[in-house]
Amino acid sequence: MYDDHDRLTTPFHSHATAAEVIHGVDLTGRRAIVTGGASGIGVETVRALAAAGAEVTIATRAPASAAGLVHELTAAHGSGSVHAAPLDLADLLSVDAFARTWRGPLDILVANAGIMALPERTVSAQGWELQLATNHLGHFALATALHGSLRAAGSARVVIVSSGAHLTAGFDFDDPQFERRPYDRWTAYGQSKTADVLLAVGARRWAADGITANALNPGWISTNLQRYLDDDTMRALGAIDEKGDIIPQPYYKEPAQGASTSVLLAASPLVSGVTGRYFEDNEEARLVRGPEERPGGVATHALDPEAADRLWDHATAVVGAALR
């Protein structure tokens, strides 16, 4: 676990854009996958990587939804090639099918797709609570299935989009699927985002293969991630007023700003060789040990290497059983 005195900082401020943090970086010849790259901060992540010359695959449940972005970037002078491919992270068979079609090395994997605050407990085909299945297990299965391609790149990066919500919930190994405890949509979301950070910590085992993995909090951005939140919930969060209009806050970000930390971790030489860490606002987050030290920061429970290894083994068993 890192020490606050050794936190990695960069010249970029909290509201820098993805284009700013990647300025001057040449990704020509590099290949990237961005899950959920057809909407929200995923779109801006794809734009920035492609503008730097990378060949980008948008992995999405509905490839047709990416058609406009593909057309835009294909027509852009100097951009790398962009195309879309089907991937449903909640279905391990879909993840396996996607990985089987991949050929050659993979330089960048951005685990960006996610769902938030489902009002009722829903489970995937493999019996996992759907937020945990989508946000964590699907990305774990994808990363491990593509491990050979990441290793073949020689110096690959895995970027995992987590959330500040991880501060609210550790990973409950006794009842991760809410089979016995009452389902709470925010606890379930927070747990899934802790699992995302633990994935980055667990991937330290790949360092000898030239693969780094880091997690991040993109900040508060208004996207379709909030689609399960009704107006009363959004008002309670202070996000909208009585008329339903967004209440501007200084910490709000536009999608291009929200994508910046993802792009920093995916491509910047400033974080070369860094692995198993958690970033926000374009720098490594400070360690927090209790609610009084919030907002922001990273919780100790999300950086626990023993929990990371335990979750890795558990997820490996689930994926293996599903694909037998």
Residue 203 is classified by DSSP as: G
Residue 129 is classified by DSSP as: B
Asked whether the beta carbons of 283 and 8 are under 8 A apart, the reply is: yes
Asked whether the beta carbons of 54 and 30 are under 8 A apart, the reply is: yes
- C-alpha 269/C-alpha 272 separation (Å) is 5
**Strand ranges for 103-191 from DSSP E:** 108-111, 156-161
Residue 228 bears catalytic tag? no
**Phi-psi category of 171—alpha, beta or left, where left has phi over 0 and alpha has psi -120 to 50?**
beta
H/E element holding 299? Answer: strand 298-299
Phi and psi for 36 in degrees, rounded to 5? 65, 30
Asked whether the beta carbons of 99 and 142 are under 8 A apart, the reply is: yes
Q: How far, CA to CA in Å, does 24 sit from each of 53, 255, 256?
A: 11, 21, 17
Sign of the alpha-carbon torsion through 86, 45, 201, 211: positive
* CB hemisphere CA count around 240 (13 angstroms): 13
Set 189, 228, 251, 278: catalytic member: 189
* Residue 303 three-state SS: coil
Nearest Cα to Cα of residue 140 among 232, 35, 25: 35
Q: Quickly tell me which residue has 């909290």 as its tokens.
A: 14
Sign of the alpha-carbon torsion through 97, 64, 74, 260: negative
Q: Which residues are catalytic?
A: 189
